[in-house]
Homo-oligomer: A and B are copies of this chain.
């Protein structure tokens, strides 16, 4: 640690400038304005070249505001919180001082003294995937209504080290609890990090042994029913364009597709795996379209299905006359594609809100009943084979 000697040229009184703050700031300024070389101890020369603007040294505190306004510290606090009446004249003086200094309350100090944990963490995966997007939007809206801020962390299940450090950043905040948007993606080794932090989660399969409060978005049932729908139309089997595998394990939607075929005694064809990207699905679709055996395709989500339908079109075949295609999610565009997509609606809006409410309820039940709007939606993209 370098020793810093600075002559105060500040209008603020000495009391408010602590040594630590000054050092940190001078270091920062040095780094920005000079070289990257570390400073020799007590190197007053280098310091003299630092453009020392006092305003940048340290953000103003209520002590500064109080001094400028000529009132006491608690009075400033009262103006801030509004909990206790303050004379209007005084109030005005304090407000003016705040404005003059550009004062902003320090959230950390506030949270500390009040013992409040005003942030809800959301652990998600790729935030651009439809389901996560919707859950996130609904959680944010509901959380704010309850006075909470939402912090998001998108974990890459493939990168454990990164996930752990991401969680550390999250847990270093005043977090009241965490909503985990995909419990199965949530590595066991991460659970230790959370310690006894309250969590709630969204279950995407049919697990029944989850010991944390959870809501269910039943991907398994959805995928099973979509596959069954195609089989019931008379297709011998159903091909699958899958989500990325997760550490060797297939995704829930893929497993359910497989189970449906198994239960029906249908042949289980090779899976076409994607990374959720349109490009990968488009490529998979091309392979499927050129295979005369293929009469029905179930895609792990609607967007993959759109891309596959494009490939079929490019191959000169038609949906559903030549090949039936079904998706999963029922994202808004499913109804307007030509042909409109047969899919299974999952109620992510409900899931987001319900998971958050579960988290905030001190005496939460393990699961929450409710009325998710889910179900198979048969549109134009599926038909009996010719």
Q: Quick one: CB contact mask for A167-182 with B, threshold 8 Å, 1 for yes?
A: 0011111110000000
Residue numbers in B under 8 Å from A197 (CB-CB):
104
Asked if A278 is an interface residue, CB under 8 A from chain B, the answer is: yes
Residue numbers in B under 8 Å from A306 (CB-CB):
333, 336-337
Q: Quick one: CB contact mask for A137-164 with B, threshold 8 Å, 1 for yes?
A: 1001100100111111110000000000
* Contact A112/B108 with A136-B127, A338-B313 known, Cβ cut-off 8 Å: yes
Alpha-carbon separation in the docked complex, A251 to B306 (Å)? 30
The A321-341 residues at the B interface (CB cut-off 8 A) are 332-333, 335-338, 340
- Which listed residue (B28, B126, B148) contacts A169, Cβ 8 A? B148
* Contact A172/B278 with A128-B137, A133-B127, A336-B310 known, Cβ cut-off 8 Å: no
Query: Which of A111, A144, A172, A340 has most chain B Cβ within 10 Å?
Result: A172
- Which listed residue (B20, B112, B278, B310) contacts A106, Cβ 8 A? B112
Whether B172 and A107, one on each chain, are in contact in the complex, defined by CB atoms closer than 8 angstroms, is yes
Whether B112 and A109, one on each chain, are in contact in the complex, defined by CB atoms closer than 8 angstroms, is yes
Whether A333 and B278, one on each chain, are in contact in the complex, defined by CB atoms closer than 8 angstroms, is yes
The A276-326 residues at the B interface (CB cut-off 8 A) are 277-278, 282, 303, 306-307, 309-310, 313
Alpha-carbon separation in the docked complex, A150 to B282 (Å)? 33
Whether A137 and B112, one on each chain, are in contact in the complex, defined by CB atoms closer than 8 angstroms, is no
Alpha-carbon separation in the docked complex, A126 to B112 (Å)? 32
Residue numbers in B under 8 Å from A109 (CB-CB):
108, 112
Alpha-carbon separation in the docked complex, A223 to B51 (Å)? 46
Whether B28 and A362, one on each chain, are in contact in the complex, defined by CB atoms closer than 8 angstroms, is yes
Alpha-carbon separation in the docked complex, A169 to B119 (Å)? 9
The A353-374 residues at the B interface (CB cut-off 8 A) are 362-363
The A1-46 residues at the B interface (CB cut-off 8 A) are 20-21, 24, 28, 32
Q: How many residues of A contact B (CB 8 A)?
A: 67
Whether B153 and A151, one on each chain, are in contact in the complex, defined by CB atoms closer than 8 angstroms, is no
Alpha-carbon separation in the docked complex, A118 to B148 (Å)? 17
Residue numbers in B under 8 Å from A169 (CB-CB):
118, 144, 147-149
Alpha-carbon separation in the docked complex, A313 to B127 (Å)? 32
Q: Quick one: CB contact mask for A54-82 with B, threshold 8 Å, 1 for yes?
A: 00000000000000000000000000000
Whether B111 and A127, one on each chain, are in contact in the complex, defined by CB atoms closer than 8 angstroms, is no
Asked if A166 is an interface residue, CB under 8 A from chain B, the answer is: yes
Shortest Cβ gap from A86 to chain B (Å): 19
Alpha-carbon separation in the docked complex, A117 to B107 (Å)? 9
Shortest Cβ gap from A88 to chain B (Å): 20
Shortest Cβ gap from A58 to chain B (Å): 8
Q: Quick one: CB contact mask for A100-117 with B, threshold 8 Å, 1 for yes?
A: 001111111111100101
Asked if A134 is an interface residue, CB under 8 A from chain B, the answer is: yes
Given A149-B173, A309-B338, 18 further pairs, Cβ under 8 A:
A20-B115, A21-B115, A103-B195, A107-B174, A108-B110, A118-B172, A128-B133, A140-B154, A148-B169, A149-B169, A149-B172, A152-B152, A173-B173, A173-B174, A278-B333, A307-B333, A310-B336, A333-B333
Chain A residues within 8 Å of B, Cβ to Cβ: 20-21, 24, 28, 32, 102-112, 115, 117-119, 126-128, 133-134, 136-137, 140-141, 144, 147-154, 166, 169-175, 195-197, 277-278, 282, 303, 306-307, 309-310, 313, 332-333, 335-338, 340, 362-363
9 residue pairs of the A-B complex, CB under 8 angstroms, read A24-B115, A28-B362, A103-B195, A105-B171, A127-B140, A128-B134, A150-B152, A151-B152, A337-B337
